[in-house]
Structures are given as C-alpha cells and as structure tokens.
Amino acid sequence: MSRIDGRNILITGGASGIGRLLALKAAALGGRVILWDVSEANLGRVTREIEAGGGTVHARLCDVSNREDVYRAAGDVKENVGPVDILVNNAGVVSGRSFLECTDEQCQRTMDVNIMAHFWTVRAFLPDMVRRGSGHIVTMASAAGIVGVSRMVDYCASKAAAFAFDEALRMEIRKSGWAIKTTVVCPYFINTGMFEGVRTRFAALLPILNEEKVAERIIRAVLKNRKRLVMPPMVYSVWLLRLFPVVVFDFVADLMGINVAMKTFKGRSPDVGADPRN
C-alpha cells in the first residue's frame, strides 16, 4: 500500500493544470481527493473524471486568498470527509506583466493566492496533523522563487516567500519533534495554460517542463518523503552563481535567456494563471 492509498489529500487549485493531474494520479493510487478551486465548471469536470475512474472525490468552491473562506472550507472538510493527511498548496496566479504595468490589485492578488493562502491552509490543518502525529505538507514554489525574472516581480516575490515559508516551517517542525513531512517543489516553466507563450533559449539545459512528468515527479516525491524537488537540475546552479559578483550573476541570467522568457507570454485567458476571475 502506498502512502497515498486510503489517505485524504487536499489539493488547492485542484481543478486545472498541475492540480488536476495531481488529483487524478492521487485518486488512481487510492487516495481520497479533496479539491478546492474557484471554478465551479472545472471542479465539475475533474470530479467526473475521478469518479469515472472509480476514485473518491470531495470538491468545493474555495477562494484560498480569502482567510475566512479557507477556514469555512476547512471546517467542511473536517466535518464531512475527515482529517487531511496530505495538504498540497498548489493554487497560483501569474500576471506576466512588468512591475509598473501590474495594478495594485494584481500585486495584492498574487501575494494573497501564491503565499498568504499557505498561511491560512496550514494554520487550518497543521494542528490536527500534530495531534495525530502524522501529515505531509507540499508547497508549490517555483524556480522563479530562486532566481528573479523580468516581468515577474510580483510572482517571483510570492514564490520566494513560499520557498522560505516551507524552509522555516520545516525547521520549526523538526525542532518541535513533530512527525510531519514537508516537500517544496521548484519547477521551471511548465507547459500548462498558466505559462502559455513562454520561451526558453537553451532547451537542453532549461526545458519547458511537461506537465504530466512534473505531476508524476511530485507524486513520487511525496511517496519518498523528499524534502525538496527542483526541476530541471540546472536550476541548482543558481545557488552556486550567487557566490559570484552580481554582475556575473546577471550576465549568466541574460545569457541563458531568463529575462526574455516572458516576452512572448500569453497565459491562460484572459491574462492570468489559475484564477479565471482575474
């Protein structure tokens, strides 16, 4: 039996993109999938997919940027499904605009969805995990949380915060002696609608990642209790490059095409990532 079989796995932003694929794969492994998303239509479609495959799913509309909505949805899960064994903070949005082109509302929304939501979901479910002596928290960060990228100031800031959130939480859990596992995921651009239109200069080193393979690797990371999953391996070089002067770091970033990758960005209609209301 896998660590997912028979477990309750909650996935935010679970009705599209990587969230949907994680839900399908978790259900196929015997997990009881709990989906939160802001799209009722997408929730319905994924629910039907999972049930058609014989899986179990509990879907609910939830705006994870809204603290009270998260706490209400968490109460519903605890009452009607049971304790959450694996929490996957996957919901995310991206504006894809330069800093001065982003509106105040877009900047706020990016931070609310991409990082503040992690605070609310973890605060809702971690105490129960501690009491039960088991649980796993998965944080979807990004390679953009490790290196800054032009036209992604708000996104990079939110994902850097998500990376730090996981790291500090892991330290706190370890120091407290709690039997809770954590995994942070830092992928390069993935070929989902969220990043439609992005380009990479050296595909052999920094390929646009296949969403099916990314979802499969995340599931394997959870099964193996991996603390960190960075894709592709080239992203690890960022930490080494930070040992050099900033001018060298910036030169390499430009050489690799990192700062022009978003020039052809289209994104998911109308202009952002996972949340169709933006």
Residues with catalytic annotation? 155
Sequence-ordered strand ranges (E) for the chain: 8-12, 32-37, 56-61, 86-89, 136-140, 181-187, 228-231
Q: Which residue matches tokens 């390929």?
A: 207
Q: In what order do the strands lie in the sheet with 32-37?
A: 56-61, 32-37, 8-12, 86-89, 136-140, 181-187, 228-231
Quickly list DSSP for 104-153.
HHHHHHHHIIIIIHHHHHHHHHHHHHHHHT--EEEEE--GGGTS--TT-H
d(CA 148, CA 241): 13
Per the CB < 8 A criterion, the answer to whether 61 and 34 are in contact is no
What are the residues whose beta carbons fall under 8 Å from the beta carbon of 140, sequence distance 6 or more? 18, 88, 89, 90, 92, 162, 185
